[in-house]
Amino acid sequence: MTNPGGGVPRPRGAWWREGAITATAFAFCLLGGVIQPDDTLSAPPAAAYVVAVVSCAVLPVRHRAPLAALAAATAVGVLVPPLGLLLTPLIVAPAVISAYSYSLAARTERRAAIAVLLTSAAPAASVPLFGDFSWKDASRMAVVAVFPLVAGVLGHSVRNRRAYLAAVEERARRAEESRDSEARRRVAEERVRIARELHDLVAHQITLANAQAAVAAHLFDTRPEQTRKSLDELVATTADALDDLRATVGLLRQSGDAATPGEPAPGLSRLPALLESFRRAGLEVSVHQEGTARPLPPGVDLTAYRIVQEALTNVTKHAGTGDARVRLAWSRDRVTITVADDGQGSRTAPTAIRGRSASTAPGRPPGYGLIGLRERATAVGGHLCAGMRPEGGFLVSAQLPLPPAKDTTRRTDGAPAIEGAPGHRATGGARPGDGEEGDAP
């Protein structure tokens, strides 16, 4: 019923409600004028009409100026005894309605209490001032004083109730906004995670396919049998890539949980198969392990596997060499993974492979491989750095946290020793920079 906007038109239903309240208050005033001071009933005198008209005329403005409307209605109630009318709760109905409205609109509870108390006391106090006073008048004064107080208490309760509902609605709105923002954040995180997984999956397989195709093209005229073997390996690599991509896309398209458990996430236990795939593409990889290997948590195990995979993919694509070295150093609370190449080429690497892999096509945007690896390492509490080595080549180094050691006698759980891997240490101990050179697209 309030109109905070000032000149904004009130709804039609509000005007009808205001008219009904004003008409009811007018009828009560006239009904109060029917009762005469000698307790007889007669037609309302002219003074009753004057009181009813003046006091009810201020009711429509009680929402915009509640204090002024309350003061006017109270003043009219004070003039009831001097006009020869009997002071009853009916004739002060406009003052009761104004007291309720002011209790709703007052800025502070203290102001509302003072105003309602004055409205309650002023009309009753005018009775002994303008006529004879009796015990019967005292009881009537008490009843008249109670009605504005009850209206004020009711208005205060309604005000508190509205404030409570508004607070509940505000909390619900903020909770909804928080849920929306949390949902958007989770969607963004999931998109980044999917992008990393697809990059690690597709970039690795496509890089191997590119290297195998380069070998086949290089040997096409001189060594047909070797060319056929390279093409067979290319077919197998592309088939694996299609299978992995189909499985990933199929999982993303599912609306619910999978009916059967999916294949376990790769980890260092699958490192031999990974290295073998690179060897088929012409990259010789040597592995050196230091310390006692321990089982890794699933997230750290997957991150370690992806770091090795992406670093070797970068070597195959960009380094122009046929050799790479992987070093796994296990300590009490962390595992250090280092992948390095010398960038000097290899006698076993065909020139065509080095020529195709040493650089990317001009104008291509930088890749996201190292960016994704840094995100993965940071997500599990580790860190990764990568950059050019002063003596040549590229170095990727990552440190990942380990859980507390429970069994120091096991050396192969979670990171099995690589059969046939030479035991030399990866060279290039200089701390790499944070450059993005050698990043796979």
Q: List the chain pLDDT tens, one digit each, 441 residues.
A: 444 444 445 555 677 888 888 899 898 888 888 877 766 777 888 888 988 899 898 888 888 888 899 999 888 888 888 888 888 888 888 989 999 999 988 888 888 889 889 888 888 777 777 666 666 677 778 888 899 999 999 999 999 999 999 999 999 999 988 888 888 888 777 777 777 777 766 666 777 777 777 777 777 777 777 777 777 777 776 776 676 666 666 656 555 555 544 556 788 888 888 888 888 777 888 899 998 888 888 888 888 888 888 888 888 777 667 788 999 999 988 999 999 987 665 434 443 334 333 344 444 444 567 777 888 888 888 999 988 888 778 889 999 998 876 544 444 444 444 443 433 333 333 333 443 444 443
CB 331 within 8 A of CB 401: no
Report how far apart the first and last C-alpha atoms of the chain are (Å, whole number).
64
- Distance separating alpha carbons of residues 248 and 109, to the nearest angstrom: 64
In the numeric block, the tokens 């309650």 are attached to: 120
Q: Which residues have a Cβ under 8 Å from the Cβ of 225 and sit 6 or more positions away? A: none
Q: Which two tokens stand for residue 95?
A: 């003052």
Measuring CA to CA, which residue among 348, 358, 353 is closest to residue 394?
A: 358
pLDDT of residue 171: 93
Q: Could you please report the per-residue DSSP string of 308-350?
A: HHHHHHHIIIII--SEEEEEEEE-SSEEEEEEE---S--TTS-
φ/ψ bin of 282: left (φ > 0), alpha (ψ from -120 to 50), beta (otherwise):
left
Sequence length of the chain is: 441
Amino acid at 125: A
Q: Could you please report the per-residue DSSP string of 82-149?
A: TTT----TTTTHHHHHHHHHHHHH-SSHHHHHHHHHHHHHHHHHHHHHSS---HHHHHHHHHHHHHHH
* Alpha carbon distances (Å) from 303 to 289, 371, 391: 18, 13, 28
* Alpha carbon distances (Å) from 262 to 200, 279, 292: 18, 28, 30
CB 170 within 8 A of CB 343: no
**What is the set of domains in the chain, with CATH numbers?**
12-177 (no CATH), 266-441 (3.30.565.10)
